[in-house]
Amino acid sequence: MRALDLDYMLGLVPVILGYVPLTLFMAVAGMGFALILASLLAVERVAKIPVLDWFVVLFISFFRGTPLLVQLFLFYFGLPQVLSFLTQIDGVTAAIMGLTLHFSAYMAESIRAAIMGVDRSQWEAAQSIGMTQGQMMWRIILPQAARIAAPTLVNYFIDMIKGTSLAFTLGVTEMMGAAQKEAAGSFLYFEAFLVVAVMYWVIVEVLSQGQKRLETHLNKAFVR
């Protein structure tokens, strides 16, 4: 056994901190796109549009049924061999695409369940006052579904932040990639990876606090 090199670890903190923005950028962009895509997928799953529904089911099944790492490799290394216009795609873009598709499949299922969780009589009330399907979804159902789904969606966001660490396998230097490079130079693998682990942990803890506040805010219409 040897003692931890604390000075080395402290010195590493600002270095890795410099890569937090890129990690968060990938996660926020991935989450934004995934929310939009997942909502569309979920609304389709509720409406069950003929033919399209079949493709949506297949999409969700595939992206839930295969590992994120395999999907990332498929996009980044595999697809450009088949689709030549994809050759310019960089690692960050590929990672965001992969995270979007992968997480939208999971999130679509939670959003669908949340939509179905909105009391049936409110759908009927919305229809009875002459709203179109779109108005009903957008103004009555989705806001309430968002509240039901919010805790789960924040959990997916946390998973997504951790998932960005896989981008380093596509040659992206984000937090994990930076730690890997540092460790390869110093041979202090334990210290380098411990620093990066703690930093992910802190980010996730901060978010969990935000999650609690968000839930209180979203529930304000529903408490006596």
Partner 1 sequence: MIDISGLTKHFGGGPVLNNIDLQIADGERVVVIGPSGTGKSTLLRCLNFLDVPQAGRITIGDVTVDAAKAGKADVLALRRRTAMVFQNYALFANKTAKQNIMEALVTVQKRSKAEAGERALAVLAETGLADKADSYPAALSGGQQQRVGIGRAMALEAELMLFDEPTSALDPEWVGEVLDLMRAVAERKQTMLIVTHEMQFAREIADRVIFMDGGKIVENGAPSEIFGSPKDARLQKFLKRVEG
Residues in touch with partner 1 (CB under 8 A): 119, 121-122, 124-132, 135, 139-140, 143-144, 147, 221-224
As measured in angstroms, the least distance from the Cβ of 119 to partner 1 is: 7
Cα–Cα distance measured from residue 52 to residue 50, given in angstroms and rounded to the nearest whole number: 6
Closest CB 14 distance from partner 1, rounded Å: 45
Nearer to partner 1 among residue 27 and residue 141 (C-beta): 141
Query: Which two tokens mark 172?
Result: 């992206």
Q: Which is nearer to partner 1, 1 or 221 (CB)?
A: 221
Cβ distance to partner 1 smaller for residue 73 or 123: 123
Nearest-angstrom CA–CA distance, 93 and 184: 26
How far apart (Å, rounded) are the C-alpha atoms in residues 76 and 87? 9
Give the separation between CA 137 and CA 181, rounded to whole angstroms: 48
Measure the CA–CA gap between 147 and 168, rounded to whole angstroms: 34
Residue bearing tokens 């946390």: 158
Closest to partner 1 by CB, 102 vs 147, is 147
User: Does residue 36 contact residue 101 with C-beta atoms inside 8 Å?
Assistant: no
**Please, what is the minimum distance in Å from the beta carbon of residue 184 to partner 1?**
53
Residue 39's nearest CA partner among 120, 155, 123, 143 is 143
Could you tell me the smallest distance in angstroms from the CB atom of residue 34 to partner 1? 23
**Do residues 27 and 203 lie in contact, with contact meaning Cβ atoms separated by under 8 Å?**
no
Decide whether 84 or 128 has the Cβ nearer to partner 1.
Answer: 128
Give the nearest distance from C-beta 42 to partner 1 in angstroms: 18
